[in-house]
Amino acid sequence: MVTVLLVIGGLGLIVQALIGLSFFISCIWEKELRASVFAGLQFLGMFIGLIAYLYLIWIGFFETKIGFDVLIAGYIAAVLAALLLLRRTAPNPKALKGAKGIIAGDVKRQDEREIMFARNRSIQPGSEQYKAFYKEHPEYEGFDAKRREKGGPLGHPGIIDKPHQGANVAATLASLSIPLHLSTPDAFKPKTHPEFKGKKIEHSPEEVTERVKGYTRKLGADLVGISEINPLWIYSYRGEIFHENWEDWGKEIKVEHEYVIVFATEMSFEMVGTAPHTPTMIESMNNYAKGAYIATQVASFIANLGYSATANHMRRYDALMVPLAVDAGLGELGRIGYLITKELGPRVRLGAVTTDLPLIPDKPVDIGVEDFCKTCKKCAVCCPSNSIPLEKDQTIVNGLLRWKLNAETCFDYWGKIGTDCNICMRVCPWSHARTFPHRVILELITRNRIARRLFSIMDDIFYGRRPKVKAIPKWARFNAGNMDGNSDA
């Protein structure tokens, strides 16, 4: 009996040490100096513990009464720890309802004209649209005028990487050209190819769902989900205008389709790690370009099947992407206002295709994001513009119970540094590379509340409450004097 217990205990300590070693190697691969030091000390402690255990076996300690009592106490502690960390916490009923779960009152559909991007990117001072909008919304005019004087991302002063940011800005604008090119009506709402004109290719909802998801992944999407469309997440009026199509400005956006295919593309761990410097902006725009490419092709595929479809990407949105993604089971809404996925955390960009093609919807998921965000708060602590709320509890905004990002101050900071920041994405514990130890941790925190508390604390210990900027890839470095990007604006 004692021999069996000793063998099992030894195997357990070996597995523990191997996991500790893998975490140490992972931290080195992530180029995290602080985490590597702490992980190295942790592994050393585990290894010493294993050697001490083998030594006690060798001298016959566990064959004595006190040694046997120590062995049993160790087993009891291990079993209790396993029960505490491995048991599944009661599910969050709000999360399992999807975006409907945060509805706590009357919800007004978002007017796209009111969002800061539309106000600052589309409306030109002195135009008829400018006069009409600010007559209706005088509270924004002075604020927006000051912001325009400062410029936006890529604008003035954009000081963080000046005067050597030119090549990175050029790469960013190169990616931006693709979604802009695909924002014409024929691109975002494609017509059926002449080969299939007048035909409708019939498949069962199950088969066509598999085909659509498979094709979307083949085009480069990392995650794909399907949902029935909740009209609340469709913009009420058009506000973003490109190609001088001003007759659409202020038009009501009607809910034309029943289903939406939502997909996510991964933002590189390496590039996001440089936030708020210009390489992270290249990564953002690169993923928006991917999103436009994928959405346009999926919409064309559906049109060729004989159904209506509309591509949604950064230069043509009919809807709010995050609640649609939540309803499609891709993840949950986090404190930072981004979608947080199990597979990639918040390091994703979203695109979608709305359609009348009959599909099988996915179900919303509960991965513990809301509970984790209540105690973590790292994004709020690290936000340089204090745009992310620090309060533990969510508040009701427009009938929705959530943590509300202050988009105005966030966008102001973008203008100050000349990038889209992404610090909150970089520091989020869910953003770690999906190495083996991080996958193990992820499995624990998605199912267990105690694990969420424990690993939130450990993330602060290993990576710091304010994690440092990672080294910039050689090809994206902007000058010889600042090759590692170790400055936070």
In residues, how long is the chain? 489
The string of DSSP codes covering 186-219 is HHHSPPPPGGGTT------HHHHHHHHHHHHHHT
The set of residues, in sequence order, having a beta carbon less than 8 Å from that of 303 and lying 6+ positions away, is 190, 191, 192, 193, 309
- Can you give the pLDDT at residue 156? 52
Query: Which of 189-203, 378-392, 471-485 has the weakest average pLDDT?
Result: 471-485
- Can you give the pLDDT at residue 355? 98
In angstroms, rounded to a whole number, what is the distance separating the alpha carbons of residues 403 and 408? 15
pLDDT in tens, 213-226: 999 999 999 999 99
pLDDT in tens, 54-111: 999 999 999 999 999 999 999 999 999 999 999 999 999 999 999 999 999 999 999 9
- Can you give the pLDDT at residue 2? 85
Q: What is the sign, positive or negative, of the torsion defined by CA atoms of 401, 350, 321, 415? A: positive
Mean pLDDT of 260-264: 98
Give the pTM.
0.93
pLDDT in tens, 453-463: 999 999 999 99
In angstroms, rounded to a whole number, what is the distance separating the alpha carbons of residues 462 and 423? 18
Q: What is the sign, positive or negative, of the torsion defined by CA atoms of 90, 93, 95, 98? A: positive
- Can you give the pLDDT at residue 485? 44
pLDDT in tens, 108-123: 999 999 998 898 888 8
pLDDT band at 235 (very low <50, low <70, confident <90, very high): very high
The set of residues, in sequence order, having a beta carbon less than 8 Å from that of 337 and lying 6+ positions away, is 322, 388, 402, 403, 404, 405
pLDDT band at 158 (very low <50, low <70, confident <90, very high): low
pLDDT in tens, 11-66: 999 999 999 999 999 999 999 999 999 999 999 999 999 999 999 999 999 999 99
pLDDT in tens, 380-397: 999 999 999 999 999 999
Mean pLDDT of 280-289: 95
Does residue 438 sit in helix, strand or coil? Answer: helix
Mean pLDDT of 334-356: 97
Mean pLDDT of 228-238: 97
**For residue 242, is it left (φ>0), alpha (ψ between -120 and 50) or beta?**
beta
- Can you give the pLDDT at residue 483? 40
Alpha carbon distances (Å) from 62 to 13, 73, 75, 148, 259:
16, 12, 13, 74, 64
E-state strands within 49-195: none
More confident residue, 192 or 324: 324
In angstroms, rounded to a whole number, what is the distance separating the alpha carbons of residues 437 and 432? 10
Angle in degrees, 0-180, between the axes of helices 407-417 and 138-150, rounded to the nearest 10: 20
Contact criterion met (CB below 8 Å) for 352 and 294: no
pLDDT band at 201 (very low <50, low <70, confident <90, very high): confident
Residue 350 predicted with pLDDT over 60: yes
In angstroms, rounded to a whole number, what is the distance separating the alpha carbons of residues 11 and 137? 68
CB atoms within 10 A of CB 67: 16
Does residue 473 sit in helix, strand or coil? Answer: coil
Q: In the chain, what is the greatest distance between 2 CA atoms, to the nearest angstrom? A: 91
Mean pLDDT of 430-448: 95
Cis ω for the linkage preceding 358 (within 30 of 0): no
- Can you give the pLDDT at residue 74? 92
